[in-house]
Amino acid sequence: MRDMSSAVSVSDPAVSTPITVSVVDDDPMICQAMSLILNDYSQGRVVVVSTSGSGAEAVEKARIEHPDVVLMDIAMPNGDGIEATARLRGLSDPPHVLILTSLSPKGTVERAAEAGAEGFVSKTDAPEEIIDRIIGACEGRPQYNPASQRQLLADLHEHRPMTRRDEARALLNSLSEREREAVLLAAEGLTNQEIAERMFTSERTAKAHLSAASDKLCMSRVQIAQLVGRADLPSPLEY
């Protein structure tokens, strides 16, 4: 796994080294649009170093350019994007790979995860959301939106049935570390102020973490508390 800690600190605005991205799509208009979005809206945090029209071309360029992240379309000539993802992840200096798609057909999410993709980016997402997903991947956070999470669980159910406990744990693990911490504290019945005190942050920030978790899981606070209960989490030393 590429270690971004020595290359760029995306949370520190004083650091000027941008995340380098390669966009892969057989539609030149999509490549152009994504390049404009990333270069114009990221305020220097992200820069597109190349675009490719096929998976094979993307792999060859990655050998030379060593991008931090590759946005990979699925259906393309010369092998699909998931096959290209596996080849990219097999390089000596592998990039993070996010699948660039507008759909999540059956089996796609599971195949993408098995190939080494770290999440999905929708072609219809808002620019800031796309940028946040790229940054999140570089920080080691899986970038699966609610739709892809649900598809992944459905695919896993079909081939490797999961227990309700495992389902709950998988959903909780899809959250960022701070979102997950806030959710677990909320499930204990703590108020927002108490959660903020335990997390050594402001009440506003604690509420933002809970709101983000609710949006990602498509669940209310009560439903999330029930999810935590189903997860039956062991102590931190055991889990």
- Given this model, what pLDDT does residue 210 score? 94
Positions of the chain with pLDDT lower than 50, given as ranges: 1, 3-15, 161, 236-239
162-231 folds as: Arc Repressor Mutant, subunit A (1.10.10)
- Given this model, what pLDDT does residue 202 score? 96
If DSSP codes are grouped into helix, strand and coil, which group holds residue 229?
helix
- Given this model, what pLDDT does residue 13 score? 45
- Given this model, what pLDDT does residue 15 score? 46
19-143 folds as: Rossmann fold (3.40.50)
Report the predicted TM-score, pTM, of the whole model to 2 decimal places.
0.58
Q: Phi first, then psi: give them for residue 47, nearest 5 degrees.
A: -135, 135
pLDDT tens digits for range 17-45: 999 999 999 999 999 999 999 999 999 99
- Given this model, what pLDDT does residue 112 score? 82
* Domain boundaries along the sequence of the chain: 19-143, 162-231
> Strands, DSSP E only, in the chain?
19-24, 46-52, 69-73, 96-101, 120-122
- Given this model, what pLDDT does residue 39 score? 95
> Strands, DSSP E only, in 25-109?
46-52, 69-73, 96-101
